[in-house]
Amino acid sequence: MIRNLLCMTAPMREGFDIPCHEIGPLSPYPAAALVAGLHGDEINGVFILSRLADFLNGVEAGNYPELRLVKPVLIIPAVNVLGVNLRTRTWPFDKSDINRMFPGSTTGETTQRIAYAVLEATKHAAHRIDIHTASVDFEEIPQVRLHGPSAAERDSAGWFGLTAVMERSLSPVFTTTLMSSWKAWVGDSFVLRVGQAGTVQLGHCQRVFRALVSFLGRAGILEGVQMGSEDEDTCYFDKASAFRVFAEKAGTFVSDRQVGSWVMAGQELGYIYDSFSGNIIENVVAPVAGLLTGIRRHPLLFEGDLILRINRKP
């Protein structure tokens, strides 16, 4: 079933809404709530959740006889609908970041009203997942992000079967995010970060799609899920395991390395060229052995920009 979380007027267009999928048995609250597209340029998440809705609707229609959806699932593929259509990260009218507007309000600014509607629809779910990407400049390995997690969240983070689980402390910067507002409510909350903004990266999307199906299976929401044997072991990385390489010189960065590969200390991972003369001015090498969890994708570098991140195996 498709429901509108919120219907609002617009100055010159038709009114707009934020539609969601409600799939599975009727219940006052969903067992799992999945959200993407709080930022309009993070298309991987929008694609993954629209495909997941199609899959679960197929389960409900009997297209997968071995599977049964036994608890309800709420899916919001895109919160920032206008941002997706106009390819902007923020709310296009006033450039505010919807993921800095939580818990929101019914009487405040437009984006606060949107935030409120999203939180109300999702906060009672036992399992809550918010999908993001890195920026358009950077690519992240598909990963689970935990912010000040409970022991239960640490355990169930493994249900996704993704290679990397990144743990971070709670920071004031995140206090007005959806994740932070979720934490006031009983249940598990996860952020998934998948690739880079501005594009659909099919490999990453397929991996995270499988991860979500795995999670729903292990959470007892989707019965009959058989997980493939190709999934890798999950590594839990804390902040201290991360080694970042910053550009010592400005210029043009070029690399053909892929995130998710294991690298050796001293291995050459890319080059920085002088953007005017074309000379190589820096060889970028791995400072430690570990998993390449993030790499710069926009070639143009300011001095000091982050080029890559390697996490040492725990």
Partner 1 sequence: MSVQPTMQTETFFTIDMPYRERMELRRTRFSGGNGPRVAVLAGIHGDELEGLYVCHRLAAWFEELVRTTPEALCGTVELYPALNTLGLDTLTRGLPVFDTDLNRAFPGSAEGPLPKRLADAIMTALTGAALVVDIHASNIYLREIPQVRINQEFRELLVPIARQMNLDMIWLHSASTVLETTVAHSLNSNGTPCLVVEMGVGMRITPEYCDQLVFGILKTWQAIGVLAADVALPETDHAPLIADDDNVHYLNAQTSGLFVATASHWTDVHQGELLGTIVSPFSGAVLSEVRSPTDGILFTLREYPLVYEGSLMARVMARTGGPA
Q: Which residues bind partner 1 (CB under 8 A)?
A: 8-12, 89, 93-95, 100, 107-113, 135, 172-173, 175-176, 244, 246, 249-252, 275-276, 300-306
Q: Which is nearer to partner 1, 220 or 304 (CB)?
A: 304
Task: Choose between 172 and 314: whose C-beta lies nearer to partner 1.
Answer: 172
Q: Are strands 268-273 and 251-254 parallel, antiparallel or unpaired?
A: antiparallel
To partner 1, the closest distance from the beta carbon of 46 in angstroms equals: 19
Amino acid at position 141, single letter: I
> Rounded to the nearest whole angstrom, what is the least distance from the CB of residue 277 to partner 1 in the complex?
10
CA distances 121 to 12, 18, 42, 117, 138, Å, are 28, 11, 21, 6, 31
Structure tokens at 262: 């294991």
3-state secondary structure of 50: helix
Residue among 259 and 272 whose Cβ is closer to partner 1: 272
Query: What's the angle, vertex CA 174, arms to CA 173 and CA 176, rounded to 5?
Result: 105
Question: Minimum CB separation from partner 1 for residue 105, in Å?
Answer: 9
Separation of alpha carbons 19 and 4, rounded Å = 4
Whose Cβ is closer to partner 1: residue 244's or residue 313's? Answer: 244
| 24 vs 251 by CB, closer to partner 1 | 251
Strands 32-35 and 73-76: parallel
Token look-up 């689980």 returns 165
Backbone φ, ψ for residue 205 (5° rounding): -65, -40
Output the smallest distance, CB 95 to partner 1, in A: 7
**Residue 104 — left, alpha, or beta (φ > 0 → left; ψ -120 to 50 → alpha)?**
left
d(CA 133, CA 247): 22
Instruction: Identify the bridge partners of residue 76 per DSSP, sorted by sequence position.
Output: 35
233: tokens are: 């072991």
| Least CB distance to partner 1 at residue 240 (A) | 15
What is the nearest approach in angstroms of partner 1 to the Cβ of residue 186? Answer: 22
Q: Which is nearer to partner 1, 26 or 240 (CB)?
A: 240
Q: For residues 116 and 282, what is the distance between their CA atoms, to the nearest angstrom?
A: 48
Shortest distance, position 99 Cβ to partner 1, whole Å: 11
Compute the least distance from the CB of residue 12 to partner 1, in Å.
7
Q: Looking at beta carbons only, is 235 or 272 nearer to partner 1? A: 272
CB 134 within 8 A of CB 294: yes
Strand partners, 295: 139, 308
Return the number of the residue (156 or 311) whose C-beta is nearest partner 1: 311
